[in-house]
């Protein structure tokens, strides 16, 4: 029965599973003191940075930040989801996974169907090696398509011989089996003889289609010559929905050591030929265009998806459908890129002609999503004047508005569109655009009808009236750096102080954005100074003993600073220990999660290599101390009325405070002080 796996079982499974055995069965471990070390399986490296603590039953890589227990290791290494990883470990431990009360899933409901499909796959593979006419099939695969026997075995290729009832006689020997084969699309019922069947696949090369767990759920059949249809696929069944599956995904997960990107191509042979040439991370759609479900599914596995298309008109049209599918499911730190092949070429032919290295170079030069988006918006415009420029902006905004509102990537595209169109970001963000007619809302997502971006959210309303001293400390370098980019006063000043670029003042030509393409993939928000200092401690723990924290800072309620202080106290108390020890001894889940998030951040590697880590931490502490003094002075001035600021010392304090604020670029605070100074001058 399907249902939630009880927590008690997971705890028992981990207690009975030795992480050392799990890891050692997959990579080579070397004993180093009480721990084990190895070359990390999750990133390329020449010297070991992967450490396994058998006592604590956890692993951690100081190079890429990967870490966790036996379940997370199997998930990452074997490219499995949580439930599948549990089942793998339970099988190795000789345990059966229990399920809490729940309805059976579609696979449990159709266990017999899956069994018949598996038997069918085995039958077709046997025919490829044993049937009297096997040479017809093996010659096609080896001579015509250049495939080796090894790659055919990896993908489970088979042969459906000529004849009407080969599979029926072998697998459908009983009425129940025939019903299951009919349900699975392997048989077709005769129109004039109800209850009598014949094989769907006849005289074809067979491609078994597996789900993400390796179960055969459908088949594709390729004709040898010009017979129609050239490709014949299984119909949709209780276990196969073609819009949700990707051919070759299971094989890609199994055969790619470091699966960090996936290439989406158009055909079975593209996937297989690429794999034979060492490019094992390709998948293919199953007779459908790339859709949002495909992209969402791939984003669970990798951070980069490359959509590969022919360079002809049909390929361009397919690329636009892929673009439209990607927009509503985009995520920060994920990217979709587009590879257009030379006209007349497909991945199969091109990799045979150019080889693996040349094809990989093409992948590296693939166009970004923003490139294709703006190119498509330009190509729909026919006027080379102001009207055309305005239509270009509308075309682009209709697509950008499909991206989730909270994404940094959406803001990046808005800024770039502003640069290209001459329309300020605020106007773009507040303009209502109709939802594109051909873009259906994603399941569980509300239709997006307005480009309500983070920019627009921050720009709503005027500058707050600070005359009542509703003051918050400025977000300077040690605060939320990302927020500063969109702070209302900054944008307001820019929009008021500089005229908008007129449409007609810039050339209107296709491809202008080639040189203005934003840096992709969409980057994670920049780390605050506190988090950067925390990373310095994690990578250089020995500096903690040389650093002192003032009590006022330690007592602050800021969560980032609390975590910094915890880490500082640990390393100051244990100067010989490292981050691995800290993770092993930390019981606070909040702190542990924060540490993992920092170690996995894209900026982490820069802190690992810096030589002035101690000075960076000291600078952060100094900035915090200055801010504490600034806040104290402001609070004191707020508590005093204008009438009391008449003596020379109070006026000098105001001047000094303004100088300090100017140095810190605190615009909100400066407005407040300026109002106070103006009122004092009037009172004089």
Domain ranges within the chain, ordered by starting residue: 7-92, 106-240, 242-365, 372-515, 529-622, 640-683
Residue 475: the pLDDT is 37
pLDDT greater than 70 at residue 653: no
What CATH number belongs to 106-240? 3.90.980.10
The answer for residues whose C-beta is within 8 angstroms of residue 510's C-beta and 6 or more apart is 375, 378, 379
Q: Which of 393-402, 463-472, 520-529, 671-680 has the lowest mean pLDDT?
A: 463-472
For residue range 254-313, what is the model confidence (pLDDT) as tens digits?
A: 888 888 899 999 889 999 999 999 999 999 999 888 999 999 999 988 889 999 988 778
Do residues 319 and 338 touch, judged by C-beta distance below 8 A? yes
The secondary structure of the chain in percent helix, strand, coil, rounded to multiples of 5, reads 50, 10, 40
Do residues 331 and 298 touch, judged by C-beta distance below 8 A? no
Confidence of residue 525 (pLDDT cuts 50, 70, 90): low
Domain 7-92 has CATH 3.90.580.10: yes
As beta bridge partners, residue 262 has: 305
Q: Which of 102-116, 134-148, 407-421, 436-450 has the lowest mean pLDDT?
A: 436-450
Do residues 613 and 619 touch, judged by C-beta distance below 8 A? no
Do residues 127 and 134 touch, judged by C-beta distance below 8 A? yes
For residue range 455-508, what is the model confidence (pLDDT) as tens digits?
A: 233 333 333 333 333 333 333 333 333 332 333 333 333 344 433 333 333 333
Q: Which two tokens stand for residue 2?
A: 């399907």
Q: How far is CA 155 from CA 79, 202, 207, 215, 255, in A?
A: 18, 19, 7, 12, 11
DSSP 210: E
Helix (H/G/I), strand (E/B), else coil: 609: helix
Confidence of residue 448 (pLDDT cuts 50, 70, 90): very low
Q: Which of 123-132, 225-234, 428-437, 452-461 has the lowest mean pLDDT?
A: 452-461
pLDDT greater than 90 at residue 658: no
Residue 500: the pLDDT is 36
Q: Which two tokens stand for residue 188?
A: 């077709």
Query: CA torsion angle for 68, 69, 72, 78 (degrees, to 10)?
Result: 120
Pick left, alpha or beta for residue 669 (phi over 0 → left; psi -120 to 50 → alpha; otherwise beta): alpha
- Count of alpha carbons within 13 Å of 653, Cβ hemisphere only? 18
Confidence of residue 68 (pLDDT cuts 50, 70, 90): confident
Q: Which of 48-62, 345-359, 384-398 has the lowest mean pLDDT?
A: 384-398
For domain 242-365, give the fold. Dna Topoisomerase Vi A Subunit; Chain: A, domain 2 (3.40.1360)
Tell me how far apart the alpha carbons of residues 89 and 93 are, in angstroms, rounded to a whole number. 6
DSSP 624: H
Phi, psi of 237 (to 5 degrees): -135, 180
Tell me how far apart the alpha carbons of residues 477 and 622 are, in angstroms, rounded to a whole number. 12
């Amino acid at each position: 029965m399907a249902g939630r796996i009880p927590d008690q079982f997971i705890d028992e499974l981990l207690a009975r599973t030795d992480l050392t055995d799990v890891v050692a069965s997959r990579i080579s471990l070397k004993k180093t003191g009480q721990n084990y070390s190895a070359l990390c399986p999750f990133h390329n490296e020449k010297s070991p940075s992967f450490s396994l603590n058998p006592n604590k039953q956890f692993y951690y890589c100081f190079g890429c930040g990967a870490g966790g227990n036996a379940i997370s290791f199997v998930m990452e290494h074997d490219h499995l989801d949580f439930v599948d990883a549990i089942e793998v470990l339970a099988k190795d431990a000789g345990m059966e996974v229990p399920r809490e009360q729940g309805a059976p899933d579609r696979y449990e409901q159709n266990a017999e169907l899956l069994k018949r499909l598996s038997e069918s796959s085995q039958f077709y593979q046997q025919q490829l090696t044993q049937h009297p006419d096997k040479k017809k099939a093996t010659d096609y695969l080896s001579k015509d398509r250049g495939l080796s026997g090894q790659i055919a075995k990896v993908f489970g290729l088979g042969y459906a011989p000529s004849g009407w009832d080969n599979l029926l006689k072998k697998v459908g020997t009983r009425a129940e089996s025939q019903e299951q084969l009919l349900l699975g699309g392997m048989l077709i019922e005769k129109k004039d003889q109800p209850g009598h069947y014949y094989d769907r696949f006849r005289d074809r090369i067979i491609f078994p289609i597996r789900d993400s767990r390796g179960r055969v759920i459908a088949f594709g059949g390729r004709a040898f010559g010009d017979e129609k249809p050239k490709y014949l696929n299984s119909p949709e069944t209780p276990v196969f929905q073609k819009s949700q599956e990707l051919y070759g995904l299971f094989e890609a997960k199994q055969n790619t050591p470091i699966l960090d990107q996936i290439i989406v191509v158009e055909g079975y042979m593209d996937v297989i030929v690429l794999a034979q040439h060492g490019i094992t991370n390709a998948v293919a759609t199953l007779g459908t265009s790339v859709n949002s479900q495909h992209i969402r599914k791939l984003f669970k596995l990798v951070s980069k998806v490359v959509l590969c298309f022919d360079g002809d008109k049909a390929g361009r049209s397919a690329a636009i459908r892929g673009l439209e599918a990607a927009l509503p499911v985009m995520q920060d730190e994920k990217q979709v890129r587009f590879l257009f092949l030379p006209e007349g070429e497909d991945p199969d032919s091109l990799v045979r002609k150019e080889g693996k290295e040349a094809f990989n170079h093409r992948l590296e030069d693939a166009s970004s999503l923003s490139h294709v988006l703006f190119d498509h918006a330009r190509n729909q415009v026919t006027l080379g004047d102001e009207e055309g420029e305005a239509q270009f902006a509308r075309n682009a905004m209709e697509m950008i508005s499909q991206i989730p509102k909270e994404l940094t990537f959406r803001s990046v595209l808005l800024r770039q569109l502003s640069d290209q169109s001459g329309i300020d970001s605020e106007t773009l963000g507040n303009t209502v655009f109709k939802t594109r007619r051909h873009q259906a809302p994603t399941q569980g997502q509300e239709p997006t009808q307005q480009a309500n971006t983070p920019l627009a959210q921050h720009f709503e309303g005027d500058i707050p009236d600070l005359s009542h001293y509703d003051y918050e400390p400025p977000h300077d370098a040690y605060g939320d750096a990302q927020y500063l980019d969109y702070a209302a006063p900054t944008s307001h000043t820019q929009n008021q102080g500089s005229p908008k670029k007129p449409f007609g003042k810039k050339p209107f030509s296709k491809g202008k954005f080639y040189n203005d393409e934003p840096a992709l993939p969409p980057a994670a928000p920049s780390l605050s100074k506190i988090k950067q200092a925390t990373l310095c401690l994690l990578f250089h723990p020995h500096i903690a003993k040389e650093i002192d924290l003032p009590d006022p800072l330690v007592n602050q309620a800021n969560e980032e600073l609390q975590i910094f202080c915890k880490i500082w106290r640990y390393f100051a108390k244990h100067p010989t220990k490292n981050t691995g020890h800290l993770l092993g001894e930390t019981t606070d889940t909040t702190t542990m999660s924060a540490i993992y998030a920092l170690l996995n951040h894209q900026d982490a590697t820069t802190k690992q290599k810096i030589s002035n880590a101690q000075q960076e931490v000291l600078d952060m502490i100094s900035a915090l101390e200055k801010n504490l003094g600034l806040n104290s002075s402001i609070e004191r001035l707020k508590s005093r009325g204008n009438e009391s600021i008449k003596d020379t010392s109070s006026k000098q304090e105001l001047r000094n405070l303004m100088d300090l604020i100017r140095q810190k670029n605190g615009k909100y605070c400066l407005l407040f002080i300026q109002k106070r100074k103006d009122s004092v001058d009037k009172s004089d």
